[in-house]
Structure 1
């Protein structure tokens, strides 16, 4: 059987220094019980695999300390995997089960990590915070798809039916978005500058309100500001920058699925982990490097 492989998400300082999510499946229509999710790490450009399993690993975030948090929302269970080990050859995973099909994860540091998704026992959406020792359930503002912020009292969540909501440290404040579009990502630069994207376009906002500033050719997946420029990932549509009220396509052979902005602009594409500082020169960790790591490991389904 010829297996298919793809990268899905990356989080870290650069393509040479990051953690990633990748998939291996039977090459047919994707089915959870005929596929594997993998967590890997890139150190000085070299790829290591840290965890592989049948069961959907949905999202990943690496904290400033280097600890990696991985959300699981599979048919088997829901929860969060945490690896604090700095040695990619000796990961030390612990799993924290939650009554939630965890669909996303993001944080500020190791004492403020947020996870969210549909509750497994009740007909509601759920939201949790990790304080470094245990998980606490928080109110949930709705169907959340993405979270970003600057401080424990300045966090924004976006999601279904135009959801935009601000967490002030104690409760959520819904913000009128004037759209029913599916909001897929959010990036908070300051109280006065933040961005979100959707299946309709790019939205700009502040603590005072939001408005749509640019239409899109299709579903946008991620948005981030890096070096005074707003970048937008459009998946198969490509990479864009926001200029005024227009999206301009970047002339680069990348179709990003996720963005991270630390030392370099880091992008996960299905075929490679890519970074850049100027959108002119790009570095790539090719998918072949991941394939080589798992080619001698028997499939797990």
Structure 2
């Protein structure tokens, strides 16, 4: 039985100090009944596996304190896994069942974590906020795919049908995006500088309005600004950067799919986790570290 593996998302200060989502599955295509989602942790460049299951773990965010929040939106259940333990050898998972299929998670700190996804059995989107003690339902601005912000009164959400909305601390304000494209990435630099990306390319905006910066040759899945440069995850087109009104190839070999920006630019690709302190030199943590951790574990399906 031939098994496939890939990284899907990482969150933390660097590729050498982060938590990640990864998949293992059988056959040429990913099928939930014959696939596993795993949460792993990297400590000083060493890979550990913390949680694995059949059923889709859909999103991950690591708080500044080191706690990790993992969304689940499988056919079995919906909710959030929380692990506050720093020691990768002794994780302490708590599962919070919620009435929706959690498809993503992002936050500011352990008293402000947002999770989103479709309500079970309904054509309606849900958004929940964790205050450190309980989950409270918020109004949802639409079908959210990604969120980012700077403070509890300055949060952006993007998603399907060109959704761009910002939270001012009391309500959502939908911003005209002039597109019906699926928007998959958002990064707020300041109140006057916010970037979004998706099927249509790259957009820049603020609370005053949005405009298209550049069309992309293919799908761009995430965007982040680091070391004065706007970076785009181009997947098959590699790691891209914005140079004026054009997209420039930064590293074609790094099939970037997601970012986290803290101490370093942390890049997730299916084959490796990579990071850079200057936006020029990248170090890489290969997928083989994750594969070897599972080499003696039979599949769970």
Output the TM-score relative to the length of structure 1: 0.98
Q: How does 1:42-53 map to 2 (within 5 A)?
A: 42-53=42-53
Residues in 1 aligned to 2:15 and 2:277: alpha-carbon distance in whole angstroms: 11
Residues in 1 aligned to 2:143 and 2:251: alpha-carbon distance in whole angstroms: 34
Report if aligned partners of 2:7, 2:21 keep a CA contact under 8 Å in 1.
yes
Runs of 4+ aligned structure 1 residues displaced above 4 Å come to: none
The aligned residue for residue 234 of structure 1 is 234
The aligned residue for residue 106 of structure 1 is 106
Any unmatched runs of 5+ in structure 1? none
The aligned residue for residue 143 of structure 2 is 143
Residues in 1 aligned to 2:122 and 2:134: alpha-carbon distance in whole angstroms: 21
Q: Please, which moves more after superposition, 24-33 or 138-147?
A: 24-33
Any unmatched runs of 5+ in structure 2? none
The aligned residue for residue 275 of structure 1 is 275
Q: How does 1:28-177 map to 2 (within 5 A)?
A: 28-177=28-177
The aligned residue for residue 201 of structure 1 is 201
Residues in 2 aligned to 1:75 and 1:194: alpha-carbon distance in whole angstroms: 35
Output the TM-score relative to the length of structure 2: 0.98
The aligned residue for residue 225 of structure 1 is 225
1:216 aligns with 2:177: no
Q: Kindly state the Cα deviation for residue 252 of structure 1 after the two structures are TM-superposed.
A: 4.9
Q: Please, which moves more after superposition, 25-34 or 46-55?
A: 25-34
Residues in 2 aligned to 1:30 and 1:290: alpha-carbon distance in whole angstroms: 18
The aligned residue for residue 265 of structure 2 is 265
1:21 aligns with 2:21: yes
Q: Kindly state the Cα deviation for residue 280 of structure 1 after the two structures are TM-superposed.
A: 3.0
Report if aligned partners of 2:227, 2:279 keep a CA contact under 8 Å in 1.
no
Number of matched pairs: 301
Report if aligned partners of 1:273, 1:285 keep a CA contact under 8 Å in 2.
yes
The aligned residue for residue 244 of structure 2 is 244
Please list the CA deviations of residues 247-291 of structure 1 after superposition, one character each: whole Å capped at 9, or x if unmatched. Answer: 111135201111111111111111111111234322111111101
Q: Kindly state the Cα deviation for residue 121 of structure 1 after the two structures are TM-superposed.
A: 3.9
Please list the CA deviations of residues 162-211 of structure 1 after superposition, one character each: whole Å capped at 9, or x if unmatched. Answer: 10001111211000001111111100011110000011110000111111
Residues in 2 aligned to 1:42 and 1:192: alpha-carbon distance in whole angstroms: 35
Please list the CA deviations of residues 223-247 of structure 1 after superposition, one character each: whole Å capped at 9, or x if unmatched. Answer: 0010111111011111111121111
The aligned residue for residue 4 of structure 2 is 4
Residues in 2 aligned to 1:35 and 1:16: alpha-carbon distance in whole angstroms: 26
Report if aligned partners of 1:114, 1:130 keep a CA contact under 8 Å in 2.
yes
